[in-house]
Amino acid sequence: MADSSSFLPPLCERLSYKSYVVRAMDLTVLGLLCSLLLYRILHINQNGIGWVVAFLCESCFTFMWLLFTNITWSPAAHKPYPERLDERVHDLPSVDMFVTTADSVQEPPIIVVNTVLSLLAVNYPANKLACYVSDDGCSPLTYFSLKEAYKFAKIWVPFCKKYNVKIRAPFRYFLNHLASSEDFEFAKDWEMTKREYEKLSQKVEGITDDPHWLNADDDFEAFSNTKPNDHSTIVKVIWENKGGVGEKKEVPHFVYISREKRPNYLHHYKAGAMNFLVRVSGLMTNALYMLNVDCDMYANDADVVRQAMCIFLQEPVNLNHCAFVQFPQAFYDSNASKRINFFRSHLERGIGGIQGPIYAGSGCFHTRRVMYGLSPSDLEDDGSLYSAATRDILTEESLAREFGHSKEMVKSLVESLQRKSNPRNSLINSIEAAKEVGNVQYEYQTSWGKTIGLLYDSIMEDVNTSIGIHSRGWTSSWICSDQPAFLGCMPPLGVDAMLQRRRWMTGLLEIFFNKQSPLIGMFHHKLRFRQRLAYLSISMSGLSSIPFLFYCLLPAYCLLHNSPLFPKGFCLGITLTLVGMHCLYTLWEFMKPGFSVQVWYVYFCGSLFSLFDITLKLLGISETVFIVTKKTMPDTKSGSGDGPSQSDDDGLNLDSGKFEIEDSLFFLPSTFILLVNLAVLAYFSVGMWSRGRGGSGMGEACGCMFIAMLFLPSVKGLFEKGYGSRLSTLSKAAFLAFSCGSRDEPENYGLNSDSNKFVIDDSIYFLLGTFIWLVNLAALKGNFDITWSMLSKGTFLAVSFVVFSVRK
């Protein structure tokens, strides 16, 4: 396929982003952390429990910093030159494009439609493309919208190609007005296309789940009497590109599928949907490469497919062994976009310089053969199957055993593993075979989800699958581009963002504990050592909230117990430099792209609650569940951030078989930490002059102050967003704070100057209580819909307050 003449310039280039300044900074922080640890060890005998806990927490931070330094040590990315593709490659390979959607309410069909249109219109020969939409919601609305989208595509795709439109998702494109300087013909086409798009979006947004129209159209018969979790497989070929002339040849194949679902059968969320997509597309078009996007991630650059091909088709292929090409993900919702862009690209570019970026779930091109479980060692230098491997892999029984008993599937597999481009017969002819591989029992006792396709044992299926691929010795490539290749949406900051973060962290922890854990087989040679460390760092990120939580309470603890937390003299300098550098370096970097402390809190809190989930899972009490995030169009965005959207039932949610956390509980940790620190600060200022020498002092008080400042904005968020149950959050946090304080020995209550031990005083309870009531009163003033439940919680608070205050 590719022309091997070596005179032509390369299709892509590897760029290194190595920076000695960054390295020096990373090493300095590491050095400072180590000297702090050393100091703590040397003085461990003179100091109390606070000192030991601080040492343990700091050891964790040092370890995490070490892993982080490993990631950021040698960042790299690939720069493709799509304009060189045509002179080098005469016959472009075909590409199957997958879109997953799961819920027509959380993921409005108009968003899916836009994503699909952007893919159908990419700059690539239409007869080499196929677009498959998997609908886990089994929604006739989604199917209806896609059919309408196809009608519009017949206008949209030629329009984009004729005028070389840059952004090919219509909702984005039509946000800009027509410039008056445009020529007449263009203006006419533009107006017409815009009108058609408006008609389409009115139809799609106006459609309801009314059974009348469903019954009226035979095409929707498959959707009658179905439930999202109880229906048979549906496969609909919306459009088949059979060549021809004009618009007919310009729109790629377009297929709607929804796999069979039955209650009591595990369906493995997105990974299950993807594996079905891989099979159906194998039967229908069997392209060598597959693109996968989330339903909200439209292609923002018409050249994405060509860019990816620059990496795959770069000669010599075997030096690279590139299994997949990951594009950066960016988000069109302003505030959220920056935080993720920054983190993801920072991390991915770093890992991109080791063995290659991690598959991020969306905006990724996979090689079909790799998805089928092939290893680089199965291949000859020219990319054909190694002859011994052929014998093992290509026997019919072993294929059927591993991939399931479908004759058509086995045939397509053989062709795909041998990289044969099979001449297409009609897509319609494959519908029956496609339905068969969507059966709930099809994967039973096969290797799907275990070693083949997307792997199942984590709800973070992307990272999990990625480890599997890298462990077989493949590499991957991270593309750097000026213009974001894909744009999607992120939930607004707040509970939804925390839920998403919590799901991610839980999924990563599942990986940490599953059989692919980066901890196991630490020196397995195919997964490079540094890459393994990178995976370790990522899969452990949920755990980092534990030392952090302790650290946030330590200054308060040490102030109360009059035991030192921070070193004195020269070593205090080290601590201050560390904190200072950390603030300047991390926090500043973090804030630079517009982050707020709240974003940081979402991270912290999401991680904390994932620990809760994973504990329940490891104990076998509940399963981890993929809760789909809500997606909104940018112009209709405004209403989305107000208030919680999930139900606020506490305890076991029977539908999902999982413990749900009440929204307001997400604010519990911050409220708790803030209350403890404020109370201790107040206490400290009252008793400052009567203190003994040698223990804790101003340093620890400053620590408390710093932490209180850090958490204040997130507690403020609790009030701003109008979460109805803030009273309950406050009362719970206060209850926790009280009970922590009351663990002291009874005789230690009050100022005990003999023991030189500064212990909790009754007044602290009154201070805390008064504070809470003042805050509550202020909050209630602006919120008149006080429910009985809130009143009862308030009464509970009052009673517990009195009980605790009179305790002696």
Ligand X SMILES: O=c1ccn([C@@H]2O[C@H](COP(=O)(O)OP(=O)(O)O[C@H]3O[C@H](CO)[C@@H](O)[C@H](O)[C@H]3O)[C@@H](O)[C@H]2O)c(=O)[nH]1
| Binds 460: which of ligand X, Mn ion, none (CB < 5-8 Å by kind) | ligand X
| Binds 362: which of ligand X, Mn ion, none (CB < 5-8 Å by kind) | ligand X
Measured from the CB atom, the residue of 430 and 506 that comes closer to Mn ion is 506
Catalytic-residue membership of 462:
yes
Which residues lie across from 125 on neighbouring strands? none
**Cβ atoms 710, 719 nearer than 8 A:** no
Name residue 349's amino acid. Answer: R
Residue nearest to ligand X (CB): 361
Tell me the CA end-to-end span of the chain in Å, nearest whole number. Answer: 85
Measured from the CB atom, the residue of 107 and 663 that comes closer to ligand X is 107
Measure the CA–CA gap between 527 and 358, rounded to whole angstroms: 13
DSSP assignment of 179-216 equals PTTS-HHHHHHHHHHHHHHHHHHHHHHH----HHHHHH
Measure the CA–CA gap between 576 and 656, rounded to whole angstroms: 47
107 is in an annotated binding site: yes
Q: Residue 215 class from Cβ within 10 Å (0-12 exposed, 13-18 middle, 19+ buried)?
A: exposed
Measured from the CB atom, the residue of 505 and 718 that comes closer to Mn ion is 505
Measure the CA–CA gap between 2 and 11, rounded to whole angstroms: 11
Residue 151 phi, psi dihedral angles, 5° rounding: -60, -40
Contacting residues for 397 by C-beta, under 8 A, at least 6 apart: none
Residue indicated by tokens 């790629």:
252
Give the Å distances, CA to CA, from 585 to 53, 196, 579, 590, 711.
Answer: 25, 50, 10, 8, 20
Residues in the site for Mn ion, rule: CB under 5 A? 294
| Binds 507: which of Mn ion, ligand X, none (CB < 5-8 Å by kind) | ligand X
Q: Residue 132 class from Cβ within 10 Å (0-12 exposed, 13-18 middle, 19+ buried)?
A: buried
| Binds 303: which of Mn ion, ligand X, none (CB < 5-8 Å by kind) | none
The least CB distance from residue 99 to ligand X, in Å, is: 7
Which residues lie across from 329 on neighbouring strands? 486
| Binds 270: which of ligand X, Mn ion, none (CB < 5-8 Å by kind) | ligand X
Contacting residues for 152 by C-beta, under 8 A, at least 6 apart: 117, 170, 196, 197, 200
The least CB distance from residue 559 to Mn ion, in Å, is: 43
Measure the CA–CA gap between 506 and 124, rounded to whole angstroms: 38
**What is the number of alpha carbons within 13 Å of residue 92 lying toward its C-beta?**
22
Strands 486-488 and 329-331: parallel
Which residue, 268, 278, 463, 273, is CA-closest to 370? Answer: 278
Which of these is catalytic: 26, 96, 103, 136?
A: 136
Measured from the CB atom, the residue of 294 and 761 that comes closer to Mn ion is 294
Which of these is catalytic: 462, 496, 613, 663?
A: 462
Measured from the CB atom, the residue of 463 and 565 that comes closer to ligand X is 463
**What is the number of alpha carbons within 13 Å of residue 102 lying toward its C-beta?**
17
| Binds 102: which of Mn ion, ligand X, none (CB < 5-8 Å by kind) | ligand X
Residue 276: CB atoms within 10 Å:
31
**Cβ atoms 600, 583 nearer than 8 A:** no
Measured from the CB atom, the residue of 70 and 629 that comes closer to ligand X is 629
Measure the CA–CA gap between 189 and 192, rounded to whole angstroms: 5
Residue 545, H or E segment = helix 545-560
Q: Report the Cα 377 to chain-centroid distance in Å.
A: 32
294 is in an annotated binding site: yes
Give the Å distances, CA to CA, from 733 to 397, 601, 669, 675, 768.
Answer: 61, 16, 7, 8, 11
Residues in the site for ligand X, rule: CB under 6 A? 100-102, 107, 136, 269-270, 273, 294-295, 361-362, 459-462, 500, 503-504, 507, 626, 628-629
Measure the CA–CA gap between 427 and 282, rounded to whole angstroms: 11
| Binds 322: which of Mn ion, ligand X, none (CB < 5-8 Å by kind) | none
Measured from the CB atom, the residue of 402 and 496 that comes closer to ligand X is 496
Residue 451, H or E segment = none
Measure the CA–CA gap between 674 and 245, rounded to whole angstroms: 68
Measured from the CB atom, the residue of 326 and 412 that comes closer to ligand X is 326
Which residue, 219, 198, 220, 203, is CA-closest to 211? Answer: 220
| Binds 269: which of Mn ion, ligand X, none (CB < 5-8 Å by kind) | ligand X
Measured from the CB atom, the residue of 107 and 148 that comes closer to ligand X is 107
| Binds 273: which of Mn ion, ligand X, none (CB < 5-8 Å by kind) | ligand X
Catalytic-residue membership of 136:
yes
The least CB distance from residue 495 to Mn ion, in Å, is: 16
**What is the number of alpha carbons within 13 Å of residue 788 lying toward its C-beta?**
0
Which residue, 387, 109, 410, 136, is CA-closest to 258? Answer: 136
| Binds 276: which of ligand X, Mn ion, none (CB < 5-8 Å by kind) | none
Measured from the CB atom, the residue of 360 and 675 that comes closer to Mn ion is 360
| Binds 301: which of Mn ion, ligand X, none (CB < 5-8 Å by kind) | none
The least CB distance from residue 332 to Mn ion, in Å, is: 12
Measured from the CB atom, the residue of 148 and 461 that comes closer to ligand X is 461
DSSP assignment of 388-434 equals HHHHHHT-HHHHHHHH-S-HHHHHHHHHHHTT--PPP--GGGGHHHH
Which residues lie across from 80 on neighbouring strands? 12
Query: Coil, strand or helix: which one is 478?
Result: strand
Positive or negative torsion for Cα 593, 597, 598, 603: positive
As annotated, the binding site includes 107, 136, 270, 294
Task: Write out the binding residues for Mn(2+).
Answer: 270, 294
Q: Which residues are annotated as a binding site for UDP-alpha-D-glucose?
A: 107, 136
Q: Which residues are catalytic?
A: 136, 462
